[in-house]
Structure 1
Protein backbone atom coordinates (compact mmCIF):
# COMPACT_ATOMS: atom_id res chain seq x y z
CA UNK A 1 0.00 0.00 0.00
CA UNK A 2 1.37 3.41 -0.93
CA UNK A 3 1.64 6.20 1.57
CA UNK A 4 0.84 9.78 0.64
CA UNK A 5 3.48 11.09 3.03
CA UNK A 6 6.18 9.19 1.13
CA UNK A 7 4.97 10.77 -2.10
CA UNK A 8 5.00 14.18 -0.44
CA UNK A 9 8.57 13.56 0.69
CA UNK A 10 9.65 12.90 -2.90
CA UNK A 11 7.81 16.07 -3.96
CA UNK A 12 10.15 18.35 -2.04
CA UNK A 13 13.57 19.86 -2.65
CA UNK A 14 15.40 21.25 0.38
CA UNK A 15 12.14 21.00 2.36
CA UNK A 16 10.22 23.18 -0.10
CA UNK A 17 7.26 21.66 -1.97
CA UNK A 18 7.65 21.24 -5.72
CA UNK A 19 4.86 22.67 -7.82
CA UNK A 20 3.80 22.06 -11.40
CA UNK A 21 2.52 24.90 -13.55
CA UNK A 22 -1.13 24.55 -14.53
CA UNK A 23 -0.08 24.59 -18.17
CA UNK A 24 1.88 21.33 -17.78
CA UNK A 25 -0.94 19.71 -15.82
CA UNK A 26 -3.49 20.74 -18.46
CA UNK A 27 -1.30 19.45 -21.32
CA UNK A 28 -1.33 16.02 -19.76
CA UNK A 29 -4.93 16.00 -18.52
CA UNK A 30 -6.76 17.69 -21.38
CA UNK A 31 -4.59 16.88 -24.41
CA UNK A 32 -2.28 13.87 -23.93
CA UNK A 33 -4.58 11.55 -21.97
CA UNK A 34 -7.62 12.04 -24.26
CA UNK A 35 -5.35 11.57 -27.29
CA UNK A 36 -4.06 8.27 -25.88
CA UNK A 37 -7.39 6.95 -24.54
CA UNK A 38 -9.77 8.35 -27.15
CA UNK A 39 -13.49 8.18 -26.52
CA UNK A 40 -12.95 5.88 -23.52
CA UNK A 41 -11.19 8.67 -21.61
CA UNK A 42 -14.00 9.45 -19.10
CA UNK A 43 -14.57 5.79 -18.18
CA UNK A 44 -10.87 5.05 -17.83
CA UNK A 45 -10.30 8.19 -15.76
CA UNK A 46 -13.12 7.06 -13.43
CA UNK A 47 -11.33 3.74 -12.87
CA UNK A 48 -7.99 5.53 -12.53
CA UNK A 49 -9.53 7.67 -9.77
CA UNK A 50 -10.67 4.50 -8.00
CA UNK A 51 -7.14 3.10 -8.31
CA UNK A 52 -5.62 6.25 -6.81
CA UNK A 53 -8.05 5.98 -3.88
CA UNK A 54 -7.00 2.36 -3.28
CA UNK A 55 -3.34 3.42 -3.37
CA UNK A 56 -3.96 6.25 -0.89
CA UNK A 57 -6.82 5.11 1.37
CA UNK A 58 -8.20 7.61 3.85
CA UNK A 59 -9.20 6.94 7.45
CA UNK A 60 -12.38 8.94 6.87
CA UNK A 61 -14.01 10.48 3.84
CA UNK A 62 -13.72 13.98 5.30
CA UNK A 63 -9.97 13.79 4.62
CA UNK A 64 -10.74 13.80 0.88
CA UNK A 65 -10.88 17.59 1.06
CA UNK A 66 -7.21 17.74 2.04
CA UNK A 67 -6.25 15.16 -0.60
CA UNK A 68 -7.96 17.23 -3.30
CA UNK A 69 -6.04 20.32 -2.23
CA UNK A 70 -2.69 18.50 -2.17
CA UNK A 71 -3.37 16.89 -5.56
CA UNK A 72 -4.29 20.26 -7.07
CA UNK A 73 -7.77 19.01 -7.97
CA UNK A 74 -9.50 21.98 -6.35
CA UNK A 75 -11.48 22.84 -3.24
CA UNK A 76 -13.90 20.09 -2.28
CA UNK A 77 -16.90 20.87 -0.08
CA UNK A 78 -19.98 18.92 0.96
CA UNK A 79 -23.06 20.75 -0.31
CA UNK A 80 -25.78 18.21 0.60
CA UNK A 81 -25.94 14.92 2.43
CA UNK A 82 -28.63 12.32 3.05
CA UNK A 83 -28.77 8.72 4.25
CA UNK A 84 -27.62 7.21 0.93
CA UNK A 85 -26.07 10.11 -0.94
CA UNK A 86 -23.62 12.95 -0.60
CA UNK A 87 -23.20 15.85 -2.98
CA UNK A 88 -19.86 17.62 -3.29
CA UNK A 89 -18.98 20.86 -5.01
CA UNK A 90 -15.55 21.21 -6.54
CA UNK A 91 -14.13 24.64 -7.32
CA UNK A 92 -10.86 26.23 -8.37
CA UNK A 93 -9.58 28.88 -10.73
CA UNK A 94 -8.31 26.10 -13.00
CA UNK A 95 -11.75 24.46 -13.09
CA UNK A 96 -13.33 27.82 -13.95
CA UNK A 97 -10.81 28.28 -16.76
CA UNK A 98 -11.33 24.74 -18.06
CA UNK A 99 -15.13 25.16 -18.11
CA UNK A 100 -14.92 28.56 -19.77
CA UNK A 101 -12.40 27.62 -22.46
CA UNK A 102 -13.25 24.01 -23.12
CA UNK A 103 -16.93 23.82 -22.17
CA UNK A 104 -17.25 20.06 -21.96
CA UNK A 105 -14.55 18.49 -19.84
CA UNK A 106 -14.40 15.43 -17.64
CA UNK A 107 -14.10 15.23 -13.88
CA UNK A 108 -14.40 11.45 -13.80
CA UNK A 109 -10.98 11.05 -12.17
CA UNK A 110 -12.27 12.94 -9.14
CA UNK A 111 -15.63 11.13 -9.21
CA UNK A 112 -13.96 7.71 -9.26
CA UNK A 113 -11.69 8.72 -6.42
CA UNK A 114 -14.63 9.81 -4.24
CA UNK A 115 -16.66 6.69 -5.05
CA UNK A 116 -13.79 4.42 -4.03
CA UNK A 117 -13.02 6.30 -0.83
CA UNK A 118 -16.67 5.93 0.21
CA UNK A 119 -16.48 2.20 -0.57
CA UNK A 120 -13.31 1.79 1.49
CA UNK A 121 -14.53 3.75 4.50
CA UNK A 122 -18.19 2.64 4.56
CA UNK A 123 -17.54 -0.94 3.33
CA UNK A 124 -20.37 -0.65 0.78
CA UNK A 125 -20.57 -0.37 -2.99
CA UNK A 126 -20.67 3.28 -4.07
CA UNK A 127 -20.85 5.10 -7.38
CA UNK A 128 -20.28 8.71 -8.29
CA UNK A 129 -21.34 10.93 -11.15
CA UNK A 130 -20.90 14.51 -12.25
CA UNK A 131 -23.78 16.94 -12.47
CA UNK A 132 -24.24 17.35 -16.22
CA UNK A 133 -25.35 20.98 -15.74
CA UNK A 134 -22.03 22.05 -14.21
CA UNK A 135 -23.77 24.94 -12.55
CA UNK A 136 -21.89 28.20 -12.42
CA UNK A 137 -18.17 27.97 -11.91
CA UNK A 138 -18.17 24.69 -10.03
CA UNK A 139 -18.57 20.99 -10.57
CA UNK A 140 -21.07 18.93 -8.63
CA UNK A 141 -20.14 15.31 -7.91
CA UNK A 142 -22.75 13.08 -6.30
CA UNK A 143 -21.79 9.82 -4.56
CA UNK A 144 -24.57 7.28 -3.95
CA UNK A 145 -24.57 4.01 -2.06
CA UNK A 146 -26.98 1.36 -0.85
CA UNK A 147 -26.27 0.14 2.67
CA UNK A 148 -27.82 -3.22 1.64
CA UNK A 149 -24.96 -3.69 -0.84
CA UNK A 150 -21.85 -4.35 1.31
CA UNK A 151 -18.42 -5.15 -0.10
Structure 2
Protein backbone atom coordinates (compact mmCIF):
# COMPACT_ATOMS: atom_id res chain seq x y z
CA UNK A 1 0.00 0.00 0.00
CA UNK A 2 1.33 3.42 -0.93
CA UNK A 3 1.70 5.84 1.94
CA UNK A 4 1.16 9.15 0.16
CA UNK A 5 0.46 12.42 1.90
CA UNK A 6 -1.25 14.37 -0.88
CA UNK A 7 -2.79 12.46 -3.75
CA UNK A 8 -5.17 14.49 -5.86
CA UNK A 9 -8.42 12.54 -6.18
CA UNK A 10 -11.41 13.73 -8.18
CA UNK A 11 -14.55 14.37 -6.19
CA UNK A 12 -17.33 13.04 -8.35
CA UNK A 13 -20.35 15.23 -8.78
CA UNK A 14 -23.59 14.32 -7.11
CA UNK A 15 -25.92 12.67 -9.59
CA UNK A 16 -29.24 10.87 -9.46
CA UNK A 17 -27.87 7.92 -7.49
CA UNK A 18 -28.56 7.97 -3.77
CA UNK A 19 -27.40 5.90 -0.84
CA UNK A 20 -29.89 4.49 1.59
CA UNK A 21 -29.65 6.16 5.00
CA UNK A 22 -30.17 2.73 6.52
CA UNK A 23 -27.21 1.32 4.58
CA UNK A 24 -25.00 4.27 5.47
CA UNK A 25 -25.87 4.09 9.17
CA UNK A 26 -25.60 0.30 9.22
CA UNK A 27 -21.98 0.50 8.08
CA UNK A 28 -20.96 3.61 10.00
CA UNK A 29 -22.80 3.13 13.29
CA UNK A 30 -22.89 -0.64 13.68
CA UNK A 31 -20.36 -2.44 11.49
CA UNK A 32 -17.32 -0.16 11.91
CA UNK A 33 -17.53 0.00 15.73
CA UNK A 34 -18.10 -3.77 15.79
CA UNK A 35 -14.92 -4.36 13.77
CA UNK A 36 -12.74 -1.72 15.47
CA UNK A 37 -13.99 -2.28 19.01
CA UNK A 38 -12.54 -0.11 21.77
CA UNK A 39 -10.10 1.52 19.32
CA UNK A 40 -12.88 2.97 17.14
CA UNK A 41 -12.35 6.50 18.47
CA UNK A 42 -8.65 6.71 17.60
CA UNK A 43 -8.82 4.76 14.33
CA UNK A 44 -11.64 6.89 12.93
CA UNK A 45 -9.71 10.07 13.74
CA UNK A 46 -6.61 8.84 11.89
CA UNK A 47 -8.77 7.48 9.07
CA UNK A 48 -10.22 10.97 8.67
CA UNK A 49 -6.72 12.43 8.44
CA UNK A 50 -5.77 9.82 5.85
CA UNK A 51 -8.88 10.59 3.79
CA UNK A 52 -7.94 14.27 3.85
CA UNK A 53 -4.50 13.40 2.47
CA UNK A 54 -6.17 11.61 -0.44
CA UNK A 55 -8.53 14.53 -1.05
CA UNK A 56 -6.54 17.72 -0.39
CA UNK A 57 -8.84 20.73 -0.69
CA UNK A 58 -7.53 24.15 -1.60
CA UNK A 59 -9.89 26.32 0.44
CA UNK A 60 -12.76 26.35 2.89
CA UNK A 61 -15.40 26.51 0.13
CA UNK A 62 -14.05 23.23 -1.25
CA UNK A 63 -14.19 21.80 2.28
CA UNK A 64 -17.85 22.81 2.62
CA UNK A 65 -18.57 21.22 -0.76
CA UNK A 66 -16.78 18.00 0.23
CA UNK A 67 -18.79 17.68 3.47
CA UNK A 68 -21.99 18.12 1.50
CA UNK A 69 -21.05 15.57 -1.19
CA UNK A 70 -19.92 13.07 1.45
CA UNK A 71 -23.33 13.45 3.15
CA UNK A 72 -21.59 14.54 6.35
CA UNK A 73 -23.69 17.69 6.61
CA UNK A 74 -23.55 21.44 6.20
CA UNK A 75 -20.33 22.93 7.58
CA UNK A 76 -20.13 26.54 8.78
CA UNK A 77 -17.42 28.70 10.32
CA UNK A 78 -18.55 30.08 13.67
CA UNK A 79 -15.39 31.89 14.70
CA UNK A 80 -11.78 32.14 13.60
CA UNK A 81 -8.81 33.45 15.54
CA UNK A 82 -5.04 33.38 15.07
CA UNK A 83 -4.55 29.70 15.95
CA UNK A 84 -8.07 28.33 16.24
CA UNK A 85 -11.16 27.72 14.16
CA UNK A 86 -14.61 26.94 15.49
CA UNK A 87 -16.97 25.14 13.13
CA UNK A 88 -20.53 23.88 13.21
CA UNK A 89 -21.86 20.81 11.42
CA UNK A 90 -25.59 20.36 10.85
CA UNK A 91 -27.48 17.48 9.24
CA UNK A 92 -30.62 15.45 9.88
CA UNK A 93 -28.32 12.42 10.19
CA UNK A 94 -26.54 13.97 13.17
CA UNK A 95 -29.48 13.83 15.59
CA UNK A 96 -29.40 10.06 16.27
CA UNK A 97 -25.61 10.08 16.64
CA UNK A 98 -25.63 13.05 19.04
CA UNK A 99 -28.30 11.40 21.18
CA UNK A 100 -26.43 8.07 21.27
CA UNK A 101 -23.58 9.57 23.34
CA UNK A 102 -21.07 7.81 21.09
CA UNK A 103 -18.21 10.31 20.83
CA UNK A 104 -16.37 8.32 18.19
CA UNK A 105 -19.10 9.00 15.67
CA UNK A 106 -17.61 12.39 14.82
CA UNK A 107 -13.96 11.40 14.91
CA UNK A 108 -13.82 10.72 11.16
CA UNK A 109 -14.94 14.29 10.47
CA UNK A 110 -12.65 15.69 13.18
CA UNK A 111 -9.59 13.97 11.72
CA UNK A 112 -10.54 15.09 8.22
CA UNK A 113 -10.92 18.71 9.40
CA UNK A 114 -7.62 18.67 11.29
CA UNK A 115 -5.68 17.49 8.25
CA UNK A 116 -7.43 19.85 5.81
CA UNK A 117 -6.76 22.86 8.06
CA UNK A 118 -3.15 21.74 8.39
CA UNK A 119 -2.89 21.78 4.57
CA UNK A 120 -4.80 25.01 4.07
CA UNK A 121 -3.09 27.01 6.82
CA UNK A 122 0.28 25.43 5.99
CA UNK A 123 1.01 24.71 9.64
CA UNK A 124 3.10 22.00 11.29
CA UNK A 125 0.22 20.38 13.19
CA UNK A 126 -3.50 20.80 13.63
CA UNK A 127 -5.85 18.94 15.93
CA UNK A 128 -9.65 18.89 15.98
CA UNK A 129 -12.03 18.25 18.87
CA UNK A 130 -15.73 17.54 18.50
CA UNK A 131 -18.44 18.88 20.79
CA UNK A 132 -21.88 17.33 20.11
CA UNK A 133 -24.74 19.59 21.15
CA UNK A 134 -27.76 17.42 22.02
CA UNK A 135 -30.37 20.17 22.30
CA UNK A 136 -29.77 21.52 18.80
CA UNK A 137 -28.66 18.28 17.08
CA UNK A 138 -25.46 19.90 15.87
CA UNK A 139 -21.79 19.24 16.34
CA UNK A 140 -19.24 21.95 17.00
CA UNK A 141 -15.61 21.35 16.14
CA UNK A 142 -12.64 23.24 17.49
CA UNK A 143 -9.54 23.04 15.32
CA UNK A 144 -6.29 24.29 16.90
CA UNK A 145 -2.94 24.55 15.16
CA UNK A 146 0.68 25.42 15.73
CA UNK A 147 2.86 27.05 13.10
CA UNK A 148 6.06 25.28 14.18
Secondary structure (helix, strand or coil) at the match of 2:137 reads: coil
How far the C-alpha of 1:103 sits from its partner, in A, is: 3.2
How far the C-alpha of 1:63 sits from its partner, in A, is: 1.7
- How many pairs were matched up? 140
* 8 Å contact from structure 1 (residues 134, 140) kept in 2: no
CA 1:70/1:133 → structure 2, altered by over 3 Å: closer, same or farther? closer
Number of the residue aligned with 1:56: 55
Gaps of 5+ in 1: none
* 8 Å contact from structure 2 (residues 85, 143) kept in 1: yes
Secondary structure (helix, strand or coil) at the match of 1:45 reads: helix
Number of the residue aligned with 2:128: 128
Gaps of 5+ in 2: 1-6
Point out the more displaced range, 64-73 or 88-97.
88-97
* Structure 1 residues 5-29: Cα deviation after superposition (integer angstroms, max 9, x where no partner): 3xx27x7xxxx43211111000000
Number of the residue aligned with 2:117: 118
Secondary structure (helix, strand or coil) at the match of 1:32 reads: helix
Secondary structure (helix, strand or coil) at the match of 1:39 reads: helix
How far the C-alpha of 1:127 sits from its partner, in A, is: 0.5
* 8 Å contact from structure 2 (residues 98, 133) kept in 1: no
Deviating 4+ runs (over 3 angstroms): 132-135
* 8 Å contact from structure 2 (residues 132, 138) kept in 1: no
CA RMSD of aligned residues (A): 1.8
Secondary structure (helix, strand or coil) at the match of 2:72 reads: coil
Mapped to 1, the partners of 2:128 and 2:107 lie a distance apart of: 9
TM-score normalised by length of structure 1: 0.85
More helix by share: 1
CA 1:112/1:134 → structure 2, altered by over 3 Å: closer, same or farther? farther
Secondary structure (helix, strand or coil) at the match of 1:19 reads: coil
